[in-house]
Each structure stands twice: as C-alpha cells, then as structure tokens.
Amino acid sequence: LLGRPKPKHKEWDGKGTTPYFPEIILGRCYAFTEIRQLELRHKDCQKIRKAFMDAFISKDPCSSTKQDYQPLIELTNETVPCGKTLFWSKSSELAHQYTRVRQDLFTLEDTLLGYIADGLRWCGDAGSSEINYGSCPERGDQCINNTMSVFWDTASKRFAENACGAVQVVLNGSISDPFDKNSTFGRVEIHNLRSEEVPTLQAWVMHDIGDPSASCSNPSIDDLKSILSNRNIKFTCQENYRPLRLLQCVQYPEDSSCSIQ
Ligand code: N1C
C-alpha cells in the first residue's frame, strides 16, 4: 500500500497531459476572446472547452481522427484578412516574435484555435473518462494518429484552406532542408492553399546570425517551388528578409549582418 501508486493508465513514451489542461483551455479562451480579439466576444468558451475535451476523452489516443475535432473546429471559426496569413516551419520563435510586432499578421497561434492549444499536451484513454496526466503517446510509440498531431494537422488544414491573398512563410535556413515535405507546412498547409484565392507565396529563408550559408538555392526550396508551380501559385524567395533579420539582431546587435552595409 505504501510507495508509488500504480499507474491507472497505459504508459506511453511521451509526457502526459499538461496539468490543469481544461482550466488552461478555458482561461486562454476567455483571455483571447475578452481581451485580445474582442470581435470574438460572442464565442462560447464553455462550449469550446467541452468540444475540445470531447475530442479525446474516452478515446484511444492513437486513433484520433479529424472528425473528433470537427465540433471544435466549427466553434472556433475565425477569418484572417486577405494577405495577412503567416506560415512557418522550424522557425516558430522568430515567426511569433514577428507577428507580435506586426499585429496585422496572423500565424495559427494568433487565432483562437491555435492560441488555446499552443504548447500544450493532452490525451485520454479508451477505457476511462479521465484525462491521462501520466503519459501520452508520440510517433515513437508507433502512434502516428495521436491526439496532438491529428489536432495540429486538422487546425493547420483549416488555417491554410481559409487563407486568401499573398501568404508568407518563415523558413529556417540553418537546417539542411529549410523546406521539409514531411512537416505540417510541407505535408498539409501548402497542399491546402486554394490557388483561386492565393496568388503568391513569399518565402523568407532566415539563417541564424553567424551562419553564412545560402538558402534560396537549397535543393529543398526547389521542391517547394515545383509543388507551387504545379498548383499555379507564384513563388518568391528571399534570404534574411530585413524585418525578420532585425528581430534576430536584437540578440546580436554587434554582428556585421546587423549594421547597414
Ligand atoms: O511541422 P511544421 O513546423 O512545419 O508546422 C508549422 C506549421 C505552421 O505554419 C502552423 O500554421 O503548421 C502549423 N502548426 C502550428 O501552428 C503549431 N503550433 C504548435 C503546426 N504545428 C504546431 N505546433 C507544434 O509544433 C506541433 O506539436 C507540431 O508537431 C510542431 C511542428 O513544428 P515544426 O516542425 O517547426
């Protein structure tokens, strides 16, 4: 009877649900709709929390489906103005720093659905109506359709489908493949842009400060170019786009790339 309590749930390799998950969802929903984006004041945060919980509670966390998240997707609909959508891949921090300054631009996390889930973990269990705070499955558990990856795929798909006007993407030029076909951006988002609505995709390939490598010429960028050309979306690529570079320069003001040449 003494010692560690026997785990109630199946043990997975990944960390468990974020403590206070339901409370965080509810609190973030109110913070977003009552403080940050008052046009969304009419949203019912209690309903949104319930729809989120219902998406994964009492379900096998490795058999999550898009349909599980459909009610949540519908409750959190929101329009991003044309020309104001910003995607990112392996560049989360810089992209979000940018939209913090450029309040007219939106990443998925600057919309209600992305905002409430950002940085959280969650899963349930087919045999119980409890939240699993002990562990949650990851891809390493042979669990591709886990609660969190299906959520991000579903949310990202909707975000891309709803984009209009020129869209932008921040890519990481300091990794071997700045465009990764298997990333959410490469696997889901570019394929769900509507070419009738999105004339152009502008890629900003950003290197870490101190990394001299060239990147619009990276072979992975050619893959992106050809996917878009097949979809009739114009493509532009620029390395170290000045507004983003200036954000990086806040940390390294003395670097030569940070002064006006
Ligand atoms: O796989 P990625 O990047 O290319 O996904 C980023 C891409 C963005 O454009 C977003 O619109 O897809 C969307 N997105 C998120 O907004 C998001 N927030 C948090 C995708 N994933 C998101 N996460 C978590 O980061 C999630 O757990 C997912 O697996 C990672 C993907 O990050 P990445 O590989 O840098």
Q: What is the pLDDT of residues 139-172, one digit of tens each?
A: 878 999 999 999 999 999 999 999 999 999 999 9
pLDDT tens per residue across span 187-243: 999 999 999 999 999 999 999 999 988 789 999 999 999 999 999 999 999 999 999
pLDDT at position 169 is 98
Count of CB atoms within 10 A of residue 55's CB?
A: 23
Handedness of CA 108, 113, 118, 121 (dihedral sign): negative
* Ligand 1 pocket: which of 69, 85, 152 to mutate (most atoms within 8 A of CB): 152
- For position 3, what pLDDT does the model report? 72
Tell me the ipTM for this assembly: 0.95
Q: Which atom of ligand 1 is nearest to the CA of 169?
A: 9
Give catalytic status of residue 45 as yes or no: no
- CB atoms under 10 Å from CB of 106, counted, come to 20
Instruction: Please choose from 184, 189, 193, 223 the residue to mutate so as to test ligand 1's pocket, defined by most ligand atoms within 8 A of CB.
Output: 184
The answer to whether 249 is a known catalytic residue is no
User: Can you count the helices (H) and strands (E) in the chain?
Assistant: 10, 6
CA of 174 to the centre of ligand 1 (A): 17
Instruction: Report the C-alpha dihedral over residues 162, 166, 170, 176, rounded to 10 degrees.
Output: 100
